[in-house]
Amino acid sequence: MRISVIGCGYLGAVHAACMAKLGHDVVGIDVDSQKVAQLSGARAPFYEPELDALLTELEASGRLRFTTDMAAAAGCEVHFVCVGTPQKRGENAADLRFVDAAVAGLAGYLSPGDVVAGKSTVPVGTAERLAELIAETQPGATLLWNPEFLREGHAISDTLRPDRFVYGVPDGNEDHPAVAVLDQVYDAALSTGTPRLVMGYATAELVKTAANSFLATKISFINAMAEVCEATGADVSRLADAIGMDDRIGRKFLNAGIGFGGGCLPKDIRAFMARAGELGADQALTFLREVDAINMRRRTRVVELARELCGGSLLGQRVAVLGAAFKPESDDVRDSPALSAAAQLQLQGAVVTVTDPQALDNAAKRFPELPLEPELDAALDRADAVLLLTEWKQYRELDPHATRALVRVPRILDGRNVLDPAKWRAAGWTYRGLGRP
Ligand code: UDX
């Protein structure tokens, strides 16, 4: 099929490449000429494992190209809207400027029978409004809402082999001809039995925000348990292992630590609360305020623990921060708990050095005053305390004996609870975890 993808950020670039991988003929469209130039040279503007190789393969096949010209959408049968919906400055609500501009720009190039599939995460009610906008220009085109659940670091497999497809259709009508068109796009995954759920616009929009809210709540739940564990000397990791064995609870997303960050969970729960307020349903989501507060308290707790570890004062203490990205296998530093803690430590007088295998360029843009060091050994050199804040494999696998030879004082704060405390203590380290004795 001929497909256009509007917006070539994380979601769009991966989606465009994956659609071409499925055999479709794809054009990715973005207003950022630098991004388009990079993608056209088969280089992703962000780090995502295996994406560059996929871009190289598909650009060579002739099935994938990128442009800044919206006119390239003319003649495509399906148009995916993948632009960002960031948090508004100084407000909780989502900023819909980019979605509105993308749909307005696209509308003039649509033909009767075309399907526009919205993938961006939007406040409930947006699809209905955008459908009216499209109908004013091209009444023969149909808008579907087709949320995306991809995780950074696993974006390609999540797109090619999702857990489920969600189609929001006008009036929730499963027989709408646009459903068959989208089925054709996703035929490869559908034919292997991937479930596909058809529902109304509002439900489809809510599926995405509800899923992210649930994930955020699960993480904050276990982090709240970590606070209680800290007050009692209990171990939150063992607690998570035990409660996670109940199928109804499950062990995934029960890792206590410095909390969640990134470009999705924090802003999505805030936008959800803001939207519920507009709808007069704010009481239903007041618990998300607590979810957010628990998450933010973790960052403060890490700084407090680091101070304790350093004997009561951070002044002049050399602190090595391992990790800048909001999670491993990503160079994304948006709302990164690691960087936010590192900046606080520095403000409180510590001599901080941050290292990360992928995210230092982005970290430098966000926090130009934080000293960054690409070499792990150099970051550890003569440290008074080591803080593991993003659980990259190379940090999880650090050898306590070899590491001890590099630092000045063997103190480690495991902000993700991924190290074996017994092993580190046996090697002479003072070990602290979050919610662990
Ligand atoms: C998330 C959703 O998982 C995805 O479905 C949605 O489409 C976009 O938002 P992503 O932002 O890539 O994806 O990251 P995710 O893997 O969900 O992790 C989010 C944050 O939670 C990270 O900072 C991670 O470190 C943290 N986390 C995750 C925990 O603190 N504990 C856990 O047990 C799991």
Residues 330-368 pLDDT 10s:
999 999 999 999 999 999 999 999 999 999 999 999 999
Task: Among 15, 119, 260, say which to mutate for ligand 1: greatest number of ligand atoms within 8 Å of CB.
Answer: 260
Ligand 1 pocket, residue 216 CB under 6 Å: no
Q: How many other β-carbons are positioned within 10 Å of the β-carbon of residue 287?
A: 13
- Read off the pTM: 0.96
Question: What is the distance in A from the centroid of ligand 1 to the CA of 260?
Answer: 6
- Burial environment of residue 243 by CB neighbours within 10 A (0 to 12, 13 to 18, 19 or more): middle
- Tell me the sheet residues that pair with 29: 6, 67
Per-residue pLDDT of the chain (437 residues; tens, 9 = 90+): 999 999 999 999 999 999 999 999 999 999 999 999 999 999 999 999 999 999 999 999 999 999 999 999 999 999 999 999 999 999 999 999 999 999 999 999 999 999 999 999 999 999 999 999 999 999 999 999 999 999 999 999 999 999 999 999 999 999 999 999 999 999 999 999 999 999 999 999 999 999 999 999 999 999 999 999 999 999 999 999 999 999 999 999 999 999 999 999 999 999 999 999 999 999 999 999 999 999 999 999 999 999 999 999 999 999 999 999 999 999 999 999 999 999 999 999 999 999 999 999 999 999 999 999 999 999 999 999 999 999 999 999 999 999 999 999 999 999 999 999 999 999 999 999 999 99
411, 404, 372: which is closest to 388 by C-alpha?
A: 411
**Phi/psi at 52 (nearest 5 deg)?**
-60, -40
Q: Which residues contact 145 (CB under 8 A, 6 or more apart)?
A: 117, 118, 122, 127, 166, 167, 168, 201, 204, 205
Displacement of CA 331 from its chain's centroid (Å): 11
The residue contributing the CA closest to ligand 1 atom 25 is 327
Rounded Cα distance between 387 and 306, Å, is 8
Ligand 1 pocket, residue 254 CB under 6 Å: yes
Task: Among 161, 208, 215, say which to mutate for ligand 1: greatest number of ligand atoms within 8 Å of CB.
Answer: 215
Atom of ligand 1 nearest to the CA of 254: 33
The pLDDT score that the predictor gives to residue 218 is 98
The residue contributing the CA closest to ligand 1 atom 33 is 253
Question: What is the distance in A from the centroid of ligand 1 to the CA of 250?
Answer: 16
Atom of ligand 1 nearest to the CA of 261: 23
Question: What is the distance in A from the centroid of ligand 1 to the CA of 326?
Answer: 9
* Active-site residue list: 264
The pLDDT score that the predictor gives to residue 424 is 98
The residue contributing the CA closest to ligand 1 atom 31 is 255
The pLDDT score that the predictor gives to residue 2 is 98
Ligand 1 pocket, residue 261 CB under 6 Å: yes
Domains for the chain: give ranges and CATH numbers. Answer: 2-194 (3.40.50.720), 234-437 (3.40.50.720)
Structure tokens belonging to residue 108: 């003039």
